[in-house]
Amino acid sequence: MSDKPARSDSMIARILSALILAPLAILGVLYLPGAGFALALGMIFLLALWEWTKLVGFRKRRFRMVVVVFNAVTLSVFWLLIARSEALWFWLIHLGVVWWCLAVLWLRAFHFGQAQTVHSLELKVLVGSLVVVPAWAAGVWLHEMVPNGPWWTLYVIMLVWVADVFAFFAGKRFGTHKLAPRISPGKTREGAYGALTGAVVYAYIGGWLLGQRDAALWAFVGISFVAVLFSIVGDLFESLMKRHANIKDSGSLIPGHGGVLDRVDSLLAALPVFVAGREWLIG
């Protein structure tokens, strides 16, 4: 029996979900006040963390809840400190950058952490916090502490969306060489090149609209390029964890898209990298 009808249904569900969720995301970024945006972003990332705890091997819901509540308290504390200790937020965001650099090395060691041991579980729970907390801090910082912050925040979110769309169509049309066959057999090098090409074009246009000119514009494009590189790392890293767990999706909350973590894995990596790069090269 052909699986084409099932694929068609999945694609329809995927498109309908995107048509509903994308406008809500855009409106939320642009019009929610600071506390509202921090709360909404925190809830989304904590839902991703909830899925992460199951993905990495926590079976009992109460243990998973402890991890999520601990991280929720951590986010709340940082929110209270945002206006008092900018340096703390600065270092927290850079901690995220350091983690994603280490994640590149983990991708090269496929079996590292695969065994279901106590130490492996503890490490992956720690990684969950290193993924979620700096990304949330970067998103809130960009939204609240940067002039025209909501527009900058929307730019980063759409940068990941644009890269994802270009990767899909470039991979579908030209994809022949696997990017990481042991981790994610469906991803191709051509898809990655498409994502980076689309990101550069979008970044040039977006940077111009955000008021960047001359050297600042090219720095902006470079930062965006690197952020998309790390968004690919974020996507691959979640795929690696799914291979360890032998599952296809992190959840089923979003029809046609899988779980929340499946939708934000790239953004979790791109946010701290983009914000840190912006602070260093543009200010």
Other C-beta atoms lying within 10 Å of the C-beta of residue 54: 17
Q: What is the pLDDT of residue 19?
A: 77
pLDDT band at 198 (very low <50, low <70, confident <90, very high): very high
What is the mean predicted confidence (pLDDT) over 206-234? Answer: 96
pLDDT at 250: 72
pLDDT averaged over the chain? 90
pLDDT tens per residue across span 11-20? 565 677 677 8
Digit-coded pLDDT (tens) for 34-69: 999 999 999 999 999 999 999 988 888 999 999 999
Q: State pLDDT tens for residues 108-131.
A: 998 898 888 888 999 999 999 999
Total domain count, the chain: 1
Cβ contacts of 96 within 8 Å, gap of 6 or more: 130, 131, 133, 134, 135, 137, 138, 271, 272, 273, 276
Give the pLDDT band (50/70/90) at residue 254.
Answer: low
Please give the residue range of the domain that contains residue 57.
4-281
- pLDDT > 70 in the chain, percent: 90
